[in-house]
Structure 1
């Protein structure tokens, strides 16, 4: 039944408050294109991890072979991503509260629970957010302690995967006022995800030795499982009427077995074969301190954070020995090593990241005609990583390093200092101009060893100790970015704006001098026109933007054995991205709410890339950039009704992702099919508790998320099949 006209007149969407410009503002007053998914929406959509919320944001695409190995792209600015920690960094920054936690190929998969909102800022954010905010910025903002009252709750869920395993999740939080001016908030979770990929029987035969290896030892049904446990605590204290301090700590550990890829062509749907162990352990702790105070003429904020992360992954790499250098030079080279042995390879990577950031900023009062933010920023990221390619039968009997033939044992240090500011001036009651800048100095060093552990300087034998360092590279650079914005407030419900802005990735150092010791920063310059509007007496919100982006001096990581046997980075050329995006929420009746978001994007190279300079391009001008679907959309409908003396609800959510390419290089380039995923839920809220029946991927769509050769064989990362579950939660005040 439709609501009566009088009832409709009283309906209004709730105001969404964001901090995208490092101050609290209504979403409709922020003159940039952005999405904000608040706590209620995250709960309603059953969002718990990285893939869940990225699916809801049309301007964003991603790859993720395993939890904790995500790579993010926005508005088509994509070089295909990179998991080699010696190469270039990402083009999208990820923030956890006040700290950037961006990592090369290893972006944090933070469990989403008791989160205030997720803000996604589209387009370059180089002035306020700096490095890696080249194409956009994603911010996960946790709920803070509240001294105004006690609050607690828990949620439990169980689910079953079609033709797969079962899983469960337990989450809880408590907010404890310690006094009128202090509160403690504690959150905990355990998420046990069942598997749906089968590791099946198979063999692999090596061409030179004729040795055949069987996967029988690793046959297992539903072997891709994940367990995520974590704890978060924050203490907020009002030091006096003007000053507040908040200290926080988050700890999370994710343990996985198996892989999320299958081999549908050779083995069958949701089946893969493995010849070594596949597992990973990702454990991290973040600590933060935020101090906020009123100086009279401005508000001062200090935000300091420290992230300590240990990441270890084991992966089967045996397919490399089919056509690589292992047999002819290491395992079947009888003049030095004797009879041929099994050349199968186990890949191991051990990474230790220590990432500290400090930011100090002053923000003027917001009721002034002239408003400003001034800040200083410092970061240091030390990444120690030891990648090992192990062949168990070689070098038997050695005291240590008995099976290692190749290794990258390096330390990468990235640091940056910056000053930034934004200045806004109301030219009249309707027109505002904003100018922003960031001036930065960055430094990257690479040191350590990369190469074979077979040491010819000694006696043409495998070394029992790591050979001496052979990498010592350094990059130093400085530059600046700008932003210029004009916004026009047509009336209280309509805002028009135009923006020109820049974003950047810092330069870096290569491990070899053969191409060049360093590569320079690359920049994206964007031009955007946007609309923010509230319609139908507050029942409808409609926001849209159209943009054009130019990518200059594009950093690209590549491997060309004619130049070097190591991966390298070069500034290789230019690309462009053009498109538009829209987001609308509509209260159709007092019981029915609709949300639709859509993005169209066309991102292309604008010149050929030829790494050999032999007239045979590696990538062609005019070709689509990888992982950039032309169209992507999300539609959600939520209907509430009276049911069993409580508030019932039914929700349907459908997302569509257009076809896209998996690589920038023609040699590996394939088009991945489009896919549509639908999720349904039915629930009841009553007297502080909620019960829900949910079904995700209702039509059992098998989506090609990533066609890859990361293990030197063609595999396809696939989404979870149809999953049906129950969730129950309670809240206490």
Structure 2
């Protein structure tokens, strides 16, 4: 097995981060000493209010749970626009990110499968909400433009009672600003920046708040984001633009909210958000020393030495280069509408939230490497499935016997033409959700929250691997083939998949609390009942048959939570909790019954050695975990908050996947995972004008048990993928008020963050192992520093910034699914620019 690591800058992994942190602290201290004496008087930390417990506004310091709130003004001042921009500030939060709108989120090491473009039915382990609307989309969580945002709440740990499925490791809530009654206000922002060895970028957004009468208000926000590319595609061929900086992307969006205040006891809020993202390419990089770079791309010869097609130049000569035959575009359109009704009565409040989400995205990938490998152009041997050398078909289902289709493998004019092979993945998702909850507000020790939740989601997924010219080849050389091949609905179909999933979910949830002395006892439950119906069709040339799977899965269960919160003093809150999380099961995507797949399934123990197609698994059970946690929240000296938590997670029957050598994917509940760690958030308002923040997270997450029949998937002690063992960040914010011309404020902001190395996959991929290729790569550690400097007054602000100051190469994801070179997704290199903001 080959093993090699992604090259990183030649520095010890810990020395540079520590040195930079020390430098940031010294810089902050120097700024602090430069403050006027009056400014250095003691200051008070502003109270942070959250709604994480669905009980209305509550002080973050007075409630239990590992919750971190990122303020909207802080996000706006740093031109934060997407998940990658704020993730590094949150301990325990990690992701596998292949580009905007293609993010797989996890918390506390609760992840077992990396992002897979070919499988749309893997539920997420962490949920994403926009206000009260769930927008989680498996490995393709949307990057909603963070414009006019009040705050982002990150709830770490299982949220299985209040937020339900897909919140087994936590939840992210993006909370926009609400319309304000009786106030005309607005803002506009423009940013422009250059990127090292990349194209320039510019972002614009506008917000307007309009009152209509005394009880009605509108709030409108619009934005346009144009991010210049920084990846060079060194291959330029038929129907491929190639060229420099080919991964440009644009995001255009708008949000309109209308708030009607009814007699001060009830309100109705209607919100509609729309966003369209178009990316011309993916932020991928191939490596110069990758042994697979060039495989399938040089001149090809048949068995007798004849050239099948000319040599193609794809030399990887530097950083941030790829060789893609097909421009890997990603187009994403999302619309979210929600209607929220709130009524406040004497002792309780009622909330109803109705939401509808429609999302369509088209994900185009380059499958030329794999298609050429599948048709075996390297030497044009046949696929000998049963190992007898006969090249005969097996029950008419296998791809063995390629030589007997009628083509002469010694004639270069009769070779299957694979000049390029686009891999199209198109998804349409519709989700209706309804939640009704009642929250009590009694004067006595007992209170409760109770609610009903209903969700109906339909997801249609179309998958096509196209080889232009395939139908003409079949018409010429295959007497028994039909075109399009084997039930396919599109021309030149090498493979066609049609998936339809309909999932309904019903739940009842409650949390009961009882307060006595300085203690609060909380007991939460959530009963869920869901059903998924699925219809899967596979066809096309590589199938050599029409295959269909129609099945359903129906499960119910109950999750529990128990928590004790102790308000030891006005400044110190302690809590300990036990909580459960769950993730819905689903119907397995179709697995071919060809002998090649049956052999792989037998080899990994998924079916018995004597079992056949009837034994192929068709469903995956839900998985669940238990979380044990202790935390402290302290306010020191009136100006510093120190929040920390320790946790242990036992994840049983974790859903994981293996890539079979025959090209299909098997999922199942094969392993257990244990994760334990520490999270620390420190915020200090040292003076009225100088603040420091420090965040630290450690995670020890590994496989604890593997089914005896599934040891090829993972081994005990394997690290979980895309989980750094150590992360930390440090930042400061300094303001010198009215220092210029007695009216302009000067500000300096800086932050630095470190992320430890990670592994790309769980255990060993069977598909990669069967080819003798690298399957589990190491993603290097990285340190990123950002600096902001500017001036401002009451109604304007101008800032200059340098992000990723040291031009660190930051890997955000990895793709090794399609038998080509490993594609490393790379975050934006150093970028330098300016932001102008006005307020009115």
Query: Shorter-chain-normalised TM-score: which range?
Result: over 0.9
8 Å contact from structure 1 (residues 86, 511) kept in 2: no
1:516 is aligned to 2:598 = no
C-alpha distance in structure 1 between counterparts of 2:502 and 2:178, whole Å: 32
1:708 is aligned to 2:815 = yes
Change (3 A) 1:685 1:617: same
- SS class of match (1:416): strand
1:547 corresponds in structure 2 to 647
* C-alpha deviation, 1:218, in angstroms: 3.5
Which 5+ residue runs of structure 1 have no aligned equivalent? 203-213, 458-466
Residues 53-452 of structure 1 mapped to structure 2, 5 A cutoff: 53-83=86-116, 84-201=118-235, 217-266=240-289, 267=316, 268-325=318-375, 328=382, 333=402, 335-336=404-405, 338=407, 339-343=414-418, 344-365=420-441, 367-396=443-472, 401-428=490-517, 430-452=518-540
* C-alpha deviation, 1:259, in angstroms: 1.4
1:20 is aligned to 2:52 = yes
1:460 corresponds in structure 2 to none
* C-alpha deviation, 1:519, in angstroms: 2.1
C-alpha distance in structure 1 between counterparts of 2:527 and 2:162, whole Å: 11
C-alpha distance in structure 2 between counterparts of 1:576 and 1:687, whole Å: 51
Greater mean deviation of Cα atoms: 132-141 or 709-718: 709-718
Which 5+ residue runs of structure 2 have no aligned equivalent? 1-32, 290-315, 384-398, 408-413, 476-482, 591-613, 766-774
Of 650, 661, 665, which aligns to 1:567? 665
Q: Deviations over 1:615-655 (max 9, x none)?
A: x5331101211111110012111111123431110111111
* Rg (Cα) greater in structure: 2
1:461 corresponds in structure 2 to none
C-alpha distance in structure 2 between counterparts of 1:508 and 1:454, whole Å: 26
- SS class of match (1:265): coil
2:831 corresponds in structure 1 to 723
C-alpha distance in structure 2 between counterparts of 1:128 and 1:569, whole Å: 28
RMSD in angstroms over aligned alpha carbons?
A: 2.1
- SS class of match (1:607): strand
8 Å contact from structure 1 (residues 353, 383) kept in 2: yes
C-alpha distance in structure 2 between counterparts of 1:454 and 1:631, whole Å: 44
Change (3 A) 1:356 1:492: same
Greater mean deviation of Cα atoms: 166-175 or 636-645: 636-645
1:643 corresponds in structure 2 to 740
8 Å contact from structure 2 (residues 343, 349) kept in 1: yes
Q: Normalising by the residue count of structure 2, what TM-score does the alignment of the two structures yield?
A: 0.81
8 Å contact from structure 1 (residues 577, 604) kept in 2: yes
Q: Give the structure with the higher percent strand.
A: 1
Q: Deviations over 1:325-352 (max 9, x none)?
A: 5655789946436411322321011111
* C-alpha deviation, 1:546, in angstroms: 0.5
8 Å contact from structure 1 (residues 473, 511) kept in 2: no
C-alpha distance in structure 2 between counterparts of 1:519 and 1:246, whole Å: 39
Change (3 A) 1:487 1:280: same
Greater mean deviation of Cα atoms: 167-176 or 87-96: 87-96
C-alpha distance in structure 2 between counterparts of 1:445 and 1:70, whole Å: 26
C-alpha distance in structure 2 between counterparts of 1:517 and 1:445, whole Å: 12
8 Å contact from structure 2 (residues 670, 706) kept in 1: no
Q: Deviations over 1:63-88 (max 9, x none)?
A: 11121110001001111334344543
- SS class of match (2:717): coil
